[in-house]
């Protein structure tokens, strides 16, 4: 897990230490607002929180306590080491591990009070055997694959389970769950197909609670909500709700220090491979951020960096530690050595950058490296 490198509240990038060359300013108030906004869409359901991959790159050490303060009591992580880390932060909430039980990890789940999501019949057998050995019903969830083809019981494993449902009497099954393939596309027929299959399978577990919806599923028909919702990206404003619903807040600014300002001339090239040639005499600035910080290489010649209301284009290939931008039209009062530029803000969002690259915002948010100072406000 990435450590909390800075905790000083800032209202202006200039309050960062002079030796810092890149920073993520993460607004925890926005995260709390987003959680409560999502929760208000769910009058009959419990709202959990998915904090896998270090809370989508925003820092689980800072984010998890904020959500717990808002009343969240159901957290989801991908892997057991994430669960152990989160348990050391939060003592009381239920922590679910989506990857389930690897061989010889049962003791870790019990020691750290983690609840596995069981993804196949062998996991059920092993967890039931552990329960019998301890003469105690151990908690779990059951993940049924209804179309993702990733984790969860497939048809063959389901048939095995249906033939031996008595195994479940040894377990405390919190819910059965599945995961929507196309919840971001409300009119996709796959949503209804998955729900229909999920409901058919649920008939085998008539008294067991259910969980199907992620962030996108919140904005589908309320029949998709069931008992427990599992939002992830929406917590960080990485989702745009339908127009008739309250918007979510972006929680991120990505800042880069200006290291050098120089003059270059028409016809000269910029960066590795000479991928950009200047069409005018220009003033160029070098920012102390590169792909080693998580500023995606594919943004080369394909992005803008902000100085207040002004924007400067990225020129040439982004290198490991540096990015060059054209600041010819940026006022000198905003662009100077030691000053700051905004690579991500309320206008240049992760969604905006991701769309230009043909990827999604989570691929960018989880790519910020430990070299970038985190500042929480």
Decide if 170 contacts 137 (C-beta within 8 A): yes
Residue 336 to residues 258, 260, 307: CA-CA distances in angstroms?
A: 7, 8, 11
DSSP letter assigned to residue 118:
E
DSSP codes joined into one string, 242-289: -TTSPPPPP-EEEEEEEEEEEEE-TT-EESGGG-EE-SS-EEEEEES-
Given a contact cutoff of 8 angstroms between Cβ atoms, the answer to whether 75 and 87 are in contact is no
3-state helix, strand, coil in the chain (%, to 5): 30, 25, 45
From 8, 133, 163, 272, active-site residue: 272
Active site residue 219: no
Of the residues 52, 96, 219, 376, which is catalytic? Answer: 52
Measure CA 370 to chain center.
16
Q: How many CB atoms lie within 10 A of CB 126?
A: 18
Which is it for the CA torsion 147, 231, 369, 22, positive or negative? positive
**Residue 95: how many CA atoms within 13 Å on its side-chain side?**
27
* Dihedral sign (CA 163, 228, 249, 21): negative
Computed on alpha carbons and rounded to an integer, the radius of gyration of the chain in Å comes to 24
Give CA–CA dist 247/233, Å, rounded: 13
108 as an active site residue: the answer is no
Instruction: Specify whether the backbone of 326 is left (phi greater than 0), alpha (psi in -120 to 50) or beta.
Output: beta
Q: Which residues pair with 95 in a beta bridge?
A: 75
From residue 91, how far is each of 7, 72, 79, 98, 218 by CA, in Å? Answer: 22, 13, 18, 19, 28
Q: 175: closest CA among 216, 248, 116? A: 116
- Asked if residue 275 lies in contact with residue 51, where contact means CB atoms within 8 angstroms, the answer is no
In DSSP terms, 209 is beta-bridged to 175
Residues with a known catalytic role: 52, 272
């Amino acid at each position: 897990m990435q450590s909390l490198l800075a905790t000083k509240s800032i209202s202006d990038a200039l309050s960062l230490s002079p030796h810092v060359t890149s920073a993520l300013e993460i607004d925890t108030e926005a995260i709390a607002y987003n959680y409560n906004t999502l929760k208000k869409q769910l009058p009959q359901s419990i709202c959990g929180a998915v904090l896998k991959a270090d809370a989508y790159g925003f820092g689980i050490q800072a984010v998890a306590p904020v959500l717990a303060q808002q009343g969240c009591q159901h957290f989801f992580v991908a892997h057991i080491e994430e669960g152990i880390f989160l348990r050391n932060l939060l003592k009381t909430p239920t922590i679910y591990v989506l990857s389930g039980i690897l061989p010889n990890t049962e003791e870790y789940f019990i020691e750290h009070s983690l609840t596995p999501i069981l993804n196949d019949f062998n996991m059920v057998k092993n967890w039931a055997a552990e329960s019998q050995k301890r003469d105690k019903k151990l908690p779990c969830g059951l993940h049924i694959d209804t179309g993702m083809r990733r984790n969860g019981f497939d048809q063959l494993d389901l048939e095995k389970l249906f033939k031996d449902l008595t195994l479940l009497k040894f377990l405390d099954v919190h819910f059965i769950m599945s995961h929507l393939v196309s919840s971001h596309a409300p009119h996709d027929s796959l949503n209804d197909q998955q729900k229909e299959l999920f409901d058919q399978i649920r008939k085998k577990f008539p008294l067991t609670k259910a969980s199907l919806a992620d962030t996108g599923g919140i904005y589908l028909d309320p029949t998709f909500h069931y008992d427990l919702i599992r939002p992830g990206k929406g917590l960080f404003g990485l989702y745009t709700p339908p127009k008739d619903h309250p918007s979510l807040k972006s929680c991120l600014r990505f800042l880069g220090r200006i290291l050098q300002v120089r003059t270059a001339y028409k016809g000269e090239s910029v960066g590795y491979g000479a991928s950009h040639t200047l069409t005018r005499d220009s003033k160029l600035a070098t920012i102390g951020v590169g792909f080693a910080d998580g500023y995606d290489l594919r943004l080369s010649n394909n992005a803008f960096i902000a100085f207040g209301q002004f924007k400067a284009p990225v020129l040439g290939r982004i290198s490991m530690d540096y990015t060059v931008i054209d600041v010819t039209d940026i006022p000198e009062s905003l662009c100077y050595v030691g000053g700051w530029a905004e690579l991500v803000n309320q206008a240049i969002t992760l969604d905006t950058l991701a769309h230009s690259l043909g990827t999604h915002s989570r691929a960018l948010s989880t790519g910020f490296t430990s070299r970038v100072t985190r500042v929480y406000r």
